[in-house]
Amino acid sequence: MTQQDNSKMYGTTILSIRRDKSVVVIGDGQVSLGHTVLKSGAKKVRRLSGDSVIAGFAGATADAFTLFERLESKLDKHPGQLMRACVELAKDWRMDKYLRKLEAMMIVADQSISLVITGTGDVLEPEDGIAAIGSGGNFALSAARALIDVKGMPIKEVAKRAMKIAADICVYTNHNVVIEKIEG
């Protein structure tokens, strides 16, 4: 049996759903250190680039803030080109000696594209418009896929219900959510 490293931050859930011309990104607010909840209302989803991009992170908080700043600077350098900005960020993240040690993942979305960015240089676009990261990510992803085709259910409601399911299952995910939407 392995012992969990209590000095390391664990868990969160970030979910992004794209349907028609709208996209939502939702994230829970729990910050955990080992088996202890440090904060229940953290804001892990935010708008960037003049509110045209939504970004959410899972992982170490300080690392995520560094990545938000780096992404914002890439978006300033490549306005309106989210894919290019994310590829440039992923290159830096993988190649830079300091950034390489960051432990986080990000979901970013704008009017036309949703992407998952990892520290290994991956910039992935989900095939079905649904992506999730973090300890409760697979629960939220499964729930969102099951709910997305429910007739008449608005995309925000799909996201909220999927996150509730994830929070009911994952101990590192709570019910305090932040949700941002870009409408088409």
Active site members: 12
H or E element, residue 37: strand 36-39
Strands 13-19 and 130-134: antiparallel
Q: Residue 48: which of 19, 78, 21 has the closest Cα?
A: 78
- CA 146 to chain centroid: 20
Q: d(Cα 33, Cα 76) in Å, to the nearest integer?
A: 34
Which amino acid would we find at residue 98? Y
> In DSSP terms, which residues pair with 18 in a beta bridge?
23
Q: Residue 48: which of 103, 117, 144 has the closest Cα?
A: 117
Using CA atoms, how far residue 15 sits from 6, 152, 166, in Å, is 26, 20, 10
